[in-house]
Amino acid sequence: MSAFADTRWSQVRRLGADSPSGRAALGWLCEAAWEPLCRHAQRRGLDRHAAEDAVQAFMARILERGLGSPDPDRGRFRSWLIAAFWHFLADRADSQRAAKRGGGQIAQTLSSVGEVPAADPDFDRDWARSVLRRTLDRLAAEQADAQRFVVLRPFLSANPEADAYAAAAARLDLPSGAVRVAVHRLRKRFAELLRSEVAETLADSDPGTLDGELKVLAAALAESRSPDDHRDAPASTAGR
């Protein structure tokens, strides 16, 4: 990928949701954001069903109206997204309260949301885990031998035990050296796909910006409160 290649987020910001390319890119970004936003809404006090309804309404509003004119300094989709959704939930709650009083409420436009009042490390963690899942799905889809991938996939997420390669070799009926080569290639391809996945959510694919975002996501995973939060985190991303 070139240093200034077009990304889905840059397409949305430049073209808006009215063009076919912009709408397709925005649809991809919305799909990527679904689960992290649902979890955020639940932390704000909504049950799962209400959280999904809120995310659906938020996505529908974006797809219908576009983004307006996002702040050019907000180059990360993740940063814009949590700010926009935070204010959307606040506006929605205000509108519901106003409706109960019989009054009206003018909704704030999504393009002028400003900054989230406080950092949300939980959202960053959920976003990072979503990125990893999408990357692993892409990696799995590329594999010609699904069973071999099942055996080798654990090598992406942890430093293997001393006998792990021998055990995998026995399961695959391959020499241990061949397994080590296969794991090396799998890790390399995963790293390439991960960089590609994260780059799509940035305003440009400048290597420095991309490396910075990867560090943020790695830190979010490293600070997870539960040991289970690390179970799907590949070693190259979890700060190992």
pLDDT of residue 211: 93
Alpha helices in the chain (DSSP H): 8-15, 20-43, 48-65, 77-100, 121-142, 146-152, 164-172, 176-199, 207-222
Q: Which of 116, 132, 148 is the last residue of a domain?
A: 116
For residues 136 and 228, membership in a common domain is answered with yes
For residues 108 and 129, membership in a common domain is answered with no
For residues 86 and 155, membership in a common domain is answered with no
For residues 140 and 188, membership in a common domain is answered with yes
Provide the whole-model pTM: 0.75
Number of domains in the chain: 2
For residues 102 and 154, membership in a common domain is answered with no
Range of the domain at 175: 119-240
pLDDT of residue 74: 55
Tokens 């995963």 identify what position? 190
- Tens-digit pLDDT string for the chain (240 aa): 333 456 777 767 665 556 677 677 777 778 888 999 999 999 888 899 999 999 999 988 877 776 655 554 456 888 888 888 888 888 887 777 777 666 544 444 333 334 454 567 899 999 999 999 999 999 999 999 999 999 999 999 867 787 899 999 999 999 999 999 999 999 999 999 999 999 888 877 678 889 999 999 999 988 764 444 444 455 555 443
Q: Which of 68, 84, 116 is the last residue of a domain?
A: 116
For residues 52 and 85, membership in a common domain is answered with yes
For residues 106 and 125, membership in a common domain is answered with no
For residues 102 and 135, membership in a common domain is answered with no
Which residues, other chains included, contact 237 with Cβ-Cβ below 8 Å and sequence gap of 6+? 128, 132, 194, 214, 217, 218, 221
Q: Which of 116, 143, 160 is the last residue of a domain?
A: 116
For residues 175 and 199, membership in a common domain is answered with yes
Is the distance from CB of 225 to CB of 32 less than 8 angstroms?
no
pLDDT of residue 109: 39
For residues 218 and 124, membership in a common domain is answered with yes
pLDDT of residue 119: 63
Burial 203-223 (b: 16+ CB within 10 A, else e): bbbbeebbeebbebbbebbbe
For residues 135 and 217, membership in a common domain is answered with yes
- What is the phi/psi pair of residue 3, to 5°? -60, -30
